[in-house]
A and B are shown apart, each in its own frame.
Chain A
Amino acid sequence: MDSKKTCQHCGKIVGPEAIEGLCPDCLMKVGLGIGTEVSVAASPGKRAFAPPTLAELANKFPQFEILAFIGQGGMGAVYKVRQRQLDRVVALKILPPGIGEDPAFADRFAREARAMAKLNHPGIVTIYDFGQADGLYYFIMELVDGVNLRLLMQNGRVSPREALAIVPQICDALQYAHDKGIVHRDIKPENILLDRQGRVKVADFGLAKLVGRMNEAGIDGVTTDTSDLTKAGKVMGTPNYMAPEQMEHPGKVDHRADIYSLGVVFYQMLTGELPPKPWQPPSRKVQIDVRLDEVVLQALEKEPERRYQQAGEVKTAIESIAAERPAAGSGNAEHFQPRWWSVFVAGFLTVLLLEFGALALMKPEPSGRLLALLAGGVALIIFLLARKRLLKVFLAGLVVAFFLWLGVAGATTGALPPGAAALVIAVTLVATFVFARKKLRSSLGSIHQNLAFSHGFLPCFVIVFLVVFGSSWLITFILPESFSSTARIKVERDQTNIRGMAEQSFGGSYDPYLIQTEFEVIHSEVILGQVAQDLDLNKEWGKKFANAEILKTTETISLIKNRMELRPVRNTSLIEIRVYSDRPQEAALIANKIARVYQLYRNEQPVPGSSSVHVEITDRAIPGLRAVRPNKPLNLAIGALAGLLLGTAGGAVVSGYESRKKRNLIKD
């Protein structure tokens, strides 16, 4: 076998790897349906469609004076001709000859042409007439004296200013056509023409739908689906610019596919290349406004639902960016949008203040934390359900602040093991960055800009920071300290064996009901009253709290209850007695007293019913060395954080306000 054979379709050498003599590349192309498009570049030898010569055309179209051949594309060949009767110069577009073999095609052609002719818009190449001459289908259309976008881009990329001038015009044209229910389906640079005045004209509307199926369907003449002009499995249009849904379900495409293609063209204009598979925002490649990234990104969303739903929206987005660009030498300065930042911060601070209040003013009890937990949970739920963007951002701030607080507070108060706290903080920060990195990057970028440009930022930041941090310092040292001491007791039933002797049960089993009932006892007036009496608290505390009046026992008891906590130690028969006081010695004293009084009580008064209860003091309370409340490190940390954020927000607001005052139109 001659291994130097070349494939007649693509010109590549067909070697021994060929599949039964067939060129694998062509096989693949046919499999994909790509090779069915008439494409000049792929077939160096054989063209599927040779455009008629000027002489041939003159014969077929006596009503025209054929002036010149303009070009050839996938959809046919275009000539510059003069309509003799009207004495005007127009463009004549001839569709490839093979197209007409299907008798039903004439109907489709007429229908499609009429639809296209209804498009009357300065941004769309107008169709004047259509018909069939001697087997050749043709259109008469507006002649555009200028270039197409492809030529413009051949020199690399288009300047951002030009791109921002071109794209809105395309949007206008698209919006107009979409409103009339016509989808272009083949938006690409070749189809976007620019005349000498810089006006944009979009060409070949609807032609993709008409022409695309001709290469496969029409030839056997038996296809009957006249209603649906598209056929599944056919790849129409240029693959690079096609929306994903256009490739997968060509029949189910709507106007949003055009928006995708527009996004690709926009990207290419800005960067000079097609968007690569790992999508790179244009602003990373060239010096342009970072917000344009968002526009391109949204246009290029894989799912149509997530894209801009109307071409007009794209135009609005672009125009608002264009209008707000301040004049700057590098062209990279951004207008800072303080709104979403400050909302985030406001939410963050609200939660912080809530926690701060809970910590400082209420006892370090579960109820405070519970409240905060509820607030965080509610915020999370509303956040997930929220639709409006600003509300979402506000709640995001709430949620982030809550989780950060949980981590920090948990770590410093020991409520959470340090590992878990660190994990919570780390996860929150990572999640925030992951979800907000786009926004953060643009905002950080603009903050950076504003630091350089605006004078207002730094002083405002410093002032606000000092104020907030300073006040947190002040509050921290004003708040009264409280210390805690803990005594531990063991409460067990004595087991009597059959010989009636008391035996201690060693470890292992414990009786939760017993613990519960004993709780009640320890809390009771009997015990606490005894404690108050023994320590002479009526008088002591009377001096401290009630202007030297002696307190009643009931009042003292309630004061003690406020300051004590009983906690069982899980899975053991131990109870912790914790007492708070502003003096460490007092706390220890009271805790030990309670333990002792209770022990004596139990020794004398056995539990009615069965065996007696044995109380043992396993750990005596010692005076605490560090204050439990207020949590100085936590408060100072909160103050610093709040100061930083408020300062940043304030500074940003100030500089945003300043740069808004300096707003200019685009200058290049």
Chain B
Amino acid sequence: MTEVETTDSDSHKIRRSVFATTHWSVVLAIGDAKTTCAQAALSRLCQSYWYPLYAYVRRRGYIPQDAEDLTQEFFARLFRNETLSGFSREGGRFRSFLLKSMSHFLTDEWRRARVQKRGGGQIISLDVASAECRYGIEPVDTHTPETLYDRAWALVLLDTVFHRLRNEYARAGKVALFEEIKFCLTGQRNAIPYAELASRINQPENTLKTQVHRLRQRYRELLREEVAQLVASPTEVEEELRSLFRAMS
């Protein structure tokens, strides 16, 4: 598993694990979080997607200190198999499962009205400082905790996929090309100024078109692959993508 640390804008770093080759369906099939493979699978999933949870907790009204403790405790419980009795019922999607579990967890914690630091070390490494920076820039008014969670999740997803894509190009020795054409990943194809671009990077226009086409194609495939790992069955991939899309707008 390779990890890539990159700098986004000047203010924060976020660690990404690029090879999230684990499957939520595997975890579901195993059914028991305490086995080693399930643990490995879960920890890789959670390591990638913890930030949306953290943002959710924060939006629920907890101060950073408490949010951190709660998130850690939640993961600890998750790995001790305490929260997972409901997960086969929740079935399909890791994202909704995680959200529901967290929301139940928070309700329990609220009832107990205490937030303690539990022992036992950290299961997932949470880079709280950067998370706080990132949280600080989330739009304030329009989001409920749930929509914020979904939106953060979508962003993490896109981010992960983007970096996977880049790594593929890097391994093929085509980093420079990637950097030049990466902006072609957005917008409509007709809007891409092929002629201009072709002359800039010194390539025939037709070859360029093929490459852009391949880039967008591969991006879509990777996106679906990544989503497939977070749902229980392949038929749910499109539905999940559409939900995320709706969450973003």
Chain A residues with CB under 8 Å of chain B are 1, 3, 7-9, 15-17, 19-36, 38, 43, 46, 48-49, 96, 98, 215-216, 219-222, 233, 239, 247-248
Contact = CB atoms under 8 A, between A and B. Distances in A.
B162 A28 contact: no
B215 to A, nearest CB: 10
A219 B155 contact: no
B86 to A, nearest CB: 21
Interface string B214-246: 001101100100000000000100100110110
A297 to B, nearest CB: 20
B238 A36 contact: no
A507 B217 CA distance: 80
6 contacts: A15-B137, A26-B186, A30-B216, A33-B220, A215-B190, A220-B209
Contact of B158 (A28, A34, A46, A239): A28
B185 A22 contact: yes
Given A16-B137, A22-B186, A1 B10 contact: yes
A248 B154 contact: no
B137 A31 contact: no
Nearest to A16: B9
A17 B187 contact: no
Given A20-B182, A27-B162, A248-B238, 16 more contacts: A16-B9, A16-B11, A22-B182, A22-B183, A25-B249, A28-B248, A29-B245, A30-B187, A31-B158, A31-B219, A31-B223, A34-B245, A36-B189, A215-B189, A222-B210, A233-B217
B206 A24 contact: no
Interface string B1-30: 000000011110000000000000000000
B137 A7 contact: no
Contacts of B238: 247-248
A24 B155 contact: yes
Contacts of A219: 189, 209, 213
A215 B209 CA distance: 12
B245 A48 contact: no
A239 B183 CA distance: 25
Given A19-B162, A24-B158, A216-B213, A30 B134 contact: no
B186 to A, nearest CB: 4
B137 A24 contact: no
A49 B190 CA distance: 8
B127 to A, nearest CB: 16
Nearest to A217: B213
B9 A19 contact: no
A98 to B, nearest CB: 5
A366 B232 CA distance: 49
A485 B85 CA distance: 52
A663 B235 CA distance: 48
A49 B189 CA distance: 11
A98 B216 contact: no
A219 B210 CA distance: 8
A520 to B, nearest CB: 55
User: Which of B158, B186, B216, B238 lies at the interface centre, i.e. has the most chain A CB atoms within 10 A of its CB?
Assistant: B186
- Find the residue from A17, A21, A29, A33 having the highest chain B CB count within 10 A: A17
B36 interface: no
Interface string B163-205: 0000000000000000000110111111100000000000000
A19 B182 CA distance: 11
A248 B235 contact: yes
A32 B241 contact: yes
Contacts of A8: 187, 191
B135 to A, nearest CB: 11
A322 B8 CA distance: 62
A35 to B, nearest CB: 6
A17 B245 contact: no
Contacts of A35: 186-188
Interface of B: 8-11, 134, 137-138, 154-155, 158-159, 161-162, 182-183, 185-191, 206, 209-210, 213, 216-217, 219-220, 223, 235, 238, 241-242, 244-245, 248-249
A24 B161 CA distance: 12
A22 B210 CA distance: 21
Nearest to A96: B190
Nearest to B220: A31
Contacts, number: 108
A31 B241 contact: yes
A219 B159 CA distance: 28
Nearest to A222: B210
Contacts of A96: 190
A59 B8 CA distance: 52
Nearest to B208: A220
Contacts of A17: 134, 137-138, 155
A23 B155 contact: no
A444 B137 CA distance: 55
A36 B188 CA distance: 5
B9 A27 contact: no
B9 A1 contact: yes
Nearest to A35: B188
A19 B219 CA distance: 14
A33 B189 CA distance: 11
B76 to A, nearest CB: 29
Contact of A28 (B209, B216, B245): B245
Contacts of B217: 233
B186 A9 contact: yes
B35 to A, nearest CB: 33
Contacts of B10: 1
Given A7-B186, A219-B209, A247-B238, A24 B154 contact: yes
B126 to A, nearest CB: 19
A24 B238 CA distance: 18
A613 B6 CA distance: 92
Nearest to B8: A16
A30 B235 CA distance: 20
Contacts of B219: 30-31
A98 B209 CA distance: 13
Contacts of A222: 210
Contacts of A49: 190
A558 B195 CA distance: 109
A550 B213 CA distance: 108
Contacts of B161: 31
B155 to A, nearest CB: 6
Contacts of A98: 189-190
A604 B148 CA distance: 91
Contacts of A215: 188-190
Contacts of A247: 238
A294 B15 CA distance: 52
A241 to B, nearest CB: 14
Contacts of A1: 9-10
A25 B248 contact: yes
Given A22-B183, A31-B220, A233-B220, A216 B158 contact: no
A48 B219 CA distance: 22
List the 10 shortest-distance A-B pairs measured between CB atoms, nearest first: A26-B186, A9-B187, A31-B223, A220-B210, A48-B190, A220-B209, A16-B9, A98-B190, A48-B188, A220-B213
B3 to A, nearest CB: 18
Nearest to A39: B188
Contacts of A239: 242
A648 to B, nearest CB: 39
A32 B242 contact: yes
Contacts of B249: 25
Nearest to A29: B245
A5 to B, nearest CB: 11
A19 B9 CA distance: 9
B167 to A, nearest CB: 13
A49 B216 CA distance: 21
A221 B206 contact: yes
B163 to A, nearest CB: 9
Contacts of B245: 28-29, 32, 34
Nearest to B154: A28
Contacts of A23: 186
Contacts of A28: 154, 158, 244-245, 248
A432 B210 CA distance: 60
